[in-house]
Structure 1
Amino acid sequence: MSSDAELTSHQTGSRKRRKLSISEPEASDSDKDVKTAPPARPLSSISRIKAKKREEISEASAKTVASTVTRDEKTTFASLNVAPWLIGALSAMEIRKPTGIQKACIPEILQGRDCIGGSRTGTGKTIAFAVPILQKWAEDPMGIYAVVLTPTRELAIQIFEQFKAISAPQSLKPVLITGGTDQREQALQLSSRPHVVIATPGRLADHIKTSGEDTICGLRRVRFVVFDEADRLLAPGRGSMLPDLETCLSVLPPPAKRQTLLFTATVTKEVLALKSAPRPGRPEIFVCEVDTEKFAVPEKLLQTYVQVPVTHKECYLHVLLSTPENITKSTIIFCNRTKTATVLEYMLRALDHRITALHSGLRQPERVANLARFRAQAARILVATDVAARGLDIPEVALVINYDVPRDPDDYIHRVGRTARAGREGCSITLVAQRDVDLVHAIEERVGREMVEYEEEGVSVEGRVVREALKPVTEKKREALLQIEEGRDVLGKRKVGSQRKPGRNV
């Protein structure tokens, strides 16, 4: 435990990131038709919110980071010494060629090295740690062999399903430990010695504190510990997961007796700090960043913005969703607050958009069902908070709209990473109000590209707002607020157990 205590000694203070060069990469042939000239910005630069400043990684740390992978482009999983049964399982999932992060990390993990892997969203980081873990497990099956910690329930469910799919030829027994489900049933599953535990830190910490030694004793012998979305798990400050993470680490083997794997799209100072933590008897940590120096966001992502008055953001959103180019696109709308996401869901449904929601204000069965509806395209639009920003792989997403500008540029990277995944094309639109200018400039500096003003042939967004949106959107927003106040669900039915607040005149 003393070694694990060292992990958090570097986590105090404000959350800071590496500062990337803002130099533009040379445009590829596929990008020549995209306008990249920076547009004129008449917006006021006055803002009460100061953009976050970043510190560059120390020169010594930067030398340990591999920014490119020098392996042959014809590298296959077989050449990485992946077992034939795993190659067959991957092939059945239409995964035949390893990505850059997989080429770099799989051989090193198979050799027993700890690993810090950074790669932009949509590059297959889950495969990069799942494949070597499963290969090592198949050679010496035991329970509990690996613990995977991740910040959100939805990402934990996705990793759980991927482990089941990849291990289909074998008899792997994974278990999912997240909030929102029966803790007693989970305790029984933990005590049955599963092979892989995929968990959120909060719920696993609850089991460690309350479920008894018979339930958690298997955790003391694990061979692998994985931090997925490690930057979020290790972030200090408000809402930090570090206390729960410390509780989890207190029952896991010390670093010298396990392999520790950290994967993230944004390699932060907190993540790199683990490189200097005491690790007696272990080889040097393998640190690899693939493509993040060149592209912090997907290469084929078109980043755009629309200037909006803060009083009419809903009107602009409705118009953007209804333009000929966007009306059929699968879309995620990101908000900073749960309350905002709820109001938008009610309002846009009243405006006849096929919409569903994903945020912490929903019960877990609703979150699972809503995400399944969106993945199945039963709903075209998903309005969400940042619980949907990390790791979720929904290949059909064609458009991401930032209804609220994120205060942390790294959150922007994770949000827009839901589109343009695995080499596909995608578009993001950020609604920029008067006080968002400094935040947008900080985002542009972080990703190394400037946003361009949103344009659509034959469409004047502002003109359509004035002609078509002001009256109906205002009316539907008023109805949505009343519906929420009365305790009704999005379909207009009164929620079970809900009561109107006393003293309210209707």
Structure 2
Amino acid sequence: MTLSPNVSRPPTRTTPSGRPLGRRTNSPFGGMNLKYADVRQEPRNRSQVEVWRSSRKKVRPQKERETFHALKMHRALALVSYGERNSTKVKISDTNSFDDFPLLPIIKESVYSEALAGLQDLAPTPVQRLAIPVLLGNESRGARRRSSMAEKKEMEQFLLAAETGSGKTLAYLLPVLDAIKRAEAIDAELEAKKKAEEEEERKSTNFHALEAPVLSDAPHPTTGRPRAVILLPTSELVTQVGRLTKTLSHTVRFRSAMISSAYTGKVIRNRLFAPTGIDVLISTPHLLASISESDPNILSRVTHLVIDEADSLLDRSFAPSTTTILDKATPSLKKLILCSATIPRSLDSYLRQRFPDIRRLVTPNLHAIPRRVQLGVVDVEKEPYRGNKNLACADTIWSIGKAAAENRTGDGGNTDVQRILVFVNERETTQELADYLTSKGIDAAPLNRDTPEQRQSETLNAFTTANKESVEVISEEIVVPPSGPNYRPLHQTISDAPPERPKRHLPNTKVLVSTDLGSRGIDTLAVRHVILYDVPHSTIDFIHRLGRTGRMGRRGRGYVLVGKNDRRDVVREVKEGMFKGQALI
């Protein structure tokens, strides 16, 4: 018996002439799964909607396709056109020095002698070239002419958006101080004119009608009434910006104060209501909002309000306090400056509703991780880790420390301390990972919201200073070959490690295991390496976490630990975008 050649072959779906084979309607199952009855089998005219849908399904050419696909699935950043980026790049190309800005001479002197003392390259950064002339109101002759013809009665609104580590603090602080000093000069002239008029009136009056002046114990007119307010989300940022402001005050001569939850009530009261008055106040929104409820007069003299890290201060947790301060300061406010390293879609929609006329000062590299920051990917599923992220993290830190020690063995027995930031997504993971790294001979400390304020300041202080520290030469236990007597495999579990002190120790490395608390605004100039223990949830977290290294033009390196359930396609596109210098949108 011979089988047919059509056995085990699917039925043909076309007629011998090549046309598609129609469905049989005379069978018992011919009318199932049909959108239209089509009883008479007549040709049906397609509707306009179907014609439009079929036209939308056309495949675009390869060159017109989107660069990023995985990133757009959880994209949270507002779009900034590349035409605007290119025009900004041309606009700021002519500025090469701080002397090109129309700042007061005393402020220029403070930049060179105080703010940037010890640095070789004193050229302004792109965000400073873009923002300082605009915030001063002297960006062009036409702008100066318009401002002189008519006095501006409405509040000026600015959004200052630039990449992390680009010097945004100095970009808004210098124009604010310039405005304060010019206002002081005007007030001094008015005061001198008033005294001269009073003196003339005294001379013209009868000598017997004069009375002795009344001694008054009234406080200084600016006590508890600052001219400028800078809002920051955390006490660490208040301390950081406050130190820079205090440094500039040594030359510029103004009074500043920083208040936050890190200080006692007595210290806050003495700083805010000092008898000598106050010009610049740096504070957190919650604290200042609570103080303004009991003393509304504290915001009656504010002319410049700076909302730093605006994407955080205008979200659901900070928005009520920030809005309260803004509403109370609006009657006297002349300039509102919002500052951020990213423009999320939520912030973009809020600004379009609340401040539709706000002027956006956006740098060309916004939403792009600098190309001087290299990104490495560690596959946790491969040998020798086998899915153990703790082991992969510890091994990466050991590799960094050993490489730094080998490169500096000939410098008289000294080596630089390597400061490494490790970011996790969950608060509980910080303590667990820090304990594991400590058991492996690594100096690690956790940082999260549960950490006491004093402990946070002490921990971050070691990562925000760029001073080089010398330590002893790494002991021979670290560099002995695997067959040595003191060798212990790094991939041993916690239970295998000695309970008191590990046999191996990495003395030239300090590690900080942190949540996003350490990724916002902290000037970690001394950090050269960042490890992403968990893949960030969004592109915004990628930018802020990797932005802790490679600051102020320095080189840096980041590592991403990719596990079984992590988005490898997102990590791949971030790495490609960093290599090309593209914005991650």
> Normalized against structure 1, the TM-score is what?
0.70
Equivalent in the alignment of 1:13: none
Contact 1:145 1:222 in 2 (8 A): yes
SS of the residue 1:393 aligns to: coil
Equivalent in the alignment of 2:403: 325
Moved more, 158-167 or 140-149: 140-149
Give, as a single letter, the amino acid of the residue that structure 1 aligns with 2:164. T
Instruction: For residues 329-379 of structure 1, give each alpha carbon's deviation from its aligned partner in whole angstroms, at most 9, with x where no partner exists.
Output: 321111122221122223322322123333211111111111123345776
Equivalent in the alignment of 2:318: 241
SS of the residue 1:303 aligns to: strand
Equivalent in the alignment of 1:345: 434
Indicate yes or no: 2:235 matched with 1:153: yes
Contact 2:85 2:363 in 1 (8 A): no
Distance 1:317 1:154, change over 3 A: same
CA distance in 2, matches of 1:152, 1:399: 23
- Trace 1:111-260 onto structure 2 (pairs within 5 A): 111=137, 113-141=156-184, 143-192=225-274, 193-209=277-293, 212-213=294-295, 216-236=296-316, 240-254=317-331, 257-260=333-336
Indicate yes or no: 2:537 matched with 1:407: yes
CA distance in 1, matches of 2:87, 2:425: 34
Unaligned 5+ segments in structure 1 are 1-20, 25-44, 452-506
Residue of structure 1 aligned with 2:555, choices 421, 425, 428:
425
Give, as a single letter, the amino acid of the residue that structure 2 aligns with 1:260. L
Larger-gyration structure (1/2): 2
Contact 2:370 2:578 in 1 (8 A): no
Equivalent in the alignment of 2:570: 441
Distance 1:171 1:369, change over 3 A: same
- Trace 1:26-65 onto structure 2 (pairs within 5 A): 51-54=73-76, 57=79
CA RMSD of aligned residues (A): 3.3
SS of the residue 2:403 aligns to: coil
Q: CA deviation at 1:270?
A: 3.8
Q: CA deviation at 1:392?
A: 1.4
Equivalent in the alignment of 2:16: none
Q: CA deviation at 1:69?
A: 4.8
Indicate yes or no: 2:371 matched with 1:299: yes
Equivalent in the alignment of 2:388: 312
SS of the residue 2:97 aligns to: coil
Contact 1:65 1:289 in 2 (8 A): no
Unaligned 5+ segments in structure 2 are 1-64, 138-151, 185-221, 406-416, 470-508, 581-585
| Larger relative contact order, structure 1 or 2 (CA cutoff 8 Å, min sep 6) | 1
Indicate yes or no: 2:89 matched with 1:68: yes
Percentage identity across aligned positions?
Answer: 25
CA distance in 2, matches of 1:64, 1:418: 23
Contact 2:464 2:523 in 1 (8 A): no
Give, as a single letter, the amino acid of the residue that structure 2 aligns with 1:110. L
Residue of structure 2 aligned with 1:288, choices 321, 341, 361:
361
SS of the residue 1:159 aligns to: helix
Moved more, 406-415 or 66-75: 66-75
SS of the residue 1:263 aligns to: strand
**How many residues end up aligned between the 2 structures?**
394
Equivalent in the alignment of 2:410: none
CA distance in 2, matches of 1:119, 1:443: 24
Instruction: For residues 3-30 of structure 1, give each alpha carbon's deviation from its aligned partner in whole angstroms, at most 9, with x where no partner exists.
Output: xxxxxxxxxxxxxxxxxx9769xxxxxx
Indicate yes or no: 2:467 matched with 1:372: no
CA distance in 2, matches of 1:120, 1:443: 21
CA distance in 2, matches of 1:381, 1:257: 43
Q: CA deviation at 1:404?
A: 1.6
Equivalent in the alignment of 2:496: none
Residue of structure 1 aligned with 2:107, choices 86, 93, 103:
86
Give, as a single letter, the amino acid of the residue that structure 2 aligns with 1:200. T
Contact 1:180 1:363 in 2 (8 A): no
Contact 1:344 1:383 in 2 (8 A): yes
- Trace 1:268-279 onto structure 2 (pairs within 5 A): 268-273=344-349, 276=352
CA distance in 2, matches of 1:71, 1:186: 41
Distance 1:441 1:106, change over 3 A: same
CA distance in 2, matches of 1:450, 1:425: 14
CA distance in 1, matches of 2:340, 2:444: 30
Give, as a single letter, the amino acid of the residue that structure 1 aligns with 2:230. V
Instruction: For residues 198-229 of structure 1, give each alpha carbon's deviation from its aligned partner in whole angstroms, at most 9, with x where no partner exists.
Output: 122222223234xx22xx41212201111111
Contact 1:330 1:396 in 2 (8 A): yes
Q: CA deviation at 1:235?
A: 2.9
CA distance in 2, matches of 1:22, 1:330: 38
